[in-house]
Structure 1
Amino acid sequence: MAKAAANTKSPKARAQVPHTLGFGVPATSDPHHFKVVIPKASTGKVSISEHLGLQSASNDNAVIDRVLLDRPRWTAIRAEVQRAFNARLAARGLKPSAWKVGENPVDRLLGKELCVLAWAVEQMDMEKIPVAVRNWLALRPEERWWLFGMTAMSTGGLMDAGRGWRVALKHALGDVVQSELLAPRARRSNGVKDDIRLSLDLFGEGES
């Protein structure tokens, strides 16, 4: 009995575990998050959009459509993305999730990281996508956030495929072998580090 009691969390301990929706989205009023919509039709495209929530200046820009992925490309990345995200959630003591047909809420930082990969593979040859996934997994979270920020500033919209940073991501993740991609680990200057001081919500600290 004593052993069973020791393994049972107290109400206070349970209350300290944040309640989340989907992949780590805080269950609060209108949080900043991403949404991945998977249609029922097996040929339907998967959409990824950013929902600014209370941070939006007006209803007109509250939702930003970021990318549409052909179903085969989504299928090629979904399993590894889910595994990576759930590992991050588990490290924070949060419940895991799984992709399902319909709307899938994603924490705002994880959503930014997903966009980097989605932008990279949206026009990539299918045979190169496994390389892109491996290279994306090898990046640190803060590197993915930086890449998202740089891309979103100029070519982060639904109609920006094949332009600017979107093309750069395609070649950086799909064409460069992993050892070369990881070589310049010291490339971040202090100035760039300041640029990626984002609000990490459940995954760190700071303000966006």
Structure 2
Amino acid sequence: MSQVKTYGFGFNPKETNHHFLIEIPTGNAKITVYERFNWDQDEQVSDLNDKDKKVILSKTKWNKVKNVIKKEFNRRLKGEGLSAGDFDSYYVPLERLYGKELMLLLWAIENAEVGVIDLAIKNWLGLSPEERWWLFTMTNASTGHYSDNRGWRIALRYALTENPVDNKLAGSFVQRLF
């Protein structure tokens, strides 16, 4: 059986056109993440609209999280028998569920101090993928546009950056409740 052709982090346009796209400019320019519903193999810039922007993040903050994200997603892609992804291109697509998880972490740190990003990463890693998807859905429903810095977006920042991690309580949030 041959390996399925995917782009970026697990995105297979033969399954769905719904994906997230990270625009990673060179230098210190900010990164932008879009949620998209169209895929054009040849020209990705044709469908980059302001209404589809989810976050604009400083390169400093991006550099603090990108390797952890890459490691987490590639571990799971390997388990699914898919090719590993990398953030080495100007445009990097992500399968929609990976994109939702990415957004959760990026929304949490977009207006946070750089010094709390490590705590946000630990808390993000402590959530199961399903918990990340649910939190994304709740946040996106009310404050999903990049300029919506209120409500659930603020709650995410506090939940992931000010909630201390206790290594004795390893496991998912739901497991810790019971």
1:49 alignment partner, SS class: strand
1:39 to 25, 34, 58: 25
1:35 alignment partner, SS class: strand
TM-score by length of 1: 0.74
- The aligned counterpart of 1:50 is 35
- The aligned counterpart of 1:122 is 110
Structure 2 unmatched runs, 5+:
40-46
Contact 2:19 2:35 in 1 (8 A): yes
Contact 2:126 2:173 in 1 (8 A): no
Between the two proteins, the alignment pairs up a number of residues equal to 168
TM-score by length of 2: 0.86
Q: Provide the C-alpha distance between the structure 2 equivalents of 1:140 and 1:152, rounded to a whole number of angstroms.
A: 18
Measured against aligned partners, the alpha-carbon deviations of 1:66-123 in whole angstroms (never above 9, x if no partner) come to 0000111101100000000000100000010110241001110000000000000001
Whose relative contact order is higher, 1 or 2, with alpha carbons under 8 Å and at least 6 apart?
A: 2
Q: Provide the C-alpha distance between the structure 1 equivalents of 2:126 and 2:23, rounded to a whole number of angstroms.
A: 26
Highest Rg: 1 or 2? Answer: 1
Contact 1:37 1:46 in 2 (8 A): yes
Measured against aligned partners, the alpha-carbon deviations of 1:150-199 in whole angstroms (never above 9, x if no partner) come to 000111101112x10110010100000123796852589xxxxxxxxxxx
Q: Provide the C-alpha distance between the structure 1 equivalents of 2:86 and 2:175, rounded to a whole number of angstroms.
A: 34
Contact 2:22 2:93 in 1 (8 A): yes
Q: Provide the C-alpha distance between the structure 1 equivalents of 2:111 and 2:50, rounded to a whole number of angstroms.
A: 27
2:12 to 20, 26, 34: 26
Identity %: 37
Contact 1:45 1:69 in 2 (8 A): yes
2:174 to 178, 182, 185: 185
Letter in 1 for 2:20: F
Letter in 2 for 1:166: R
The root-mean-square deviation of aligned C-alpha atoms, in Å, is 2.6
Contact 1:135 1:181 in 2 (8 A): no
Listed as ranges, the matches of 1:121-140 within 5 Å are: 121-140=109-128
Cα separation, partners in 2 of 1:29 and 1:182, compared to 1, 3 Å:
closer
Contact 1:19 1:26 in 2 (8 A): yes
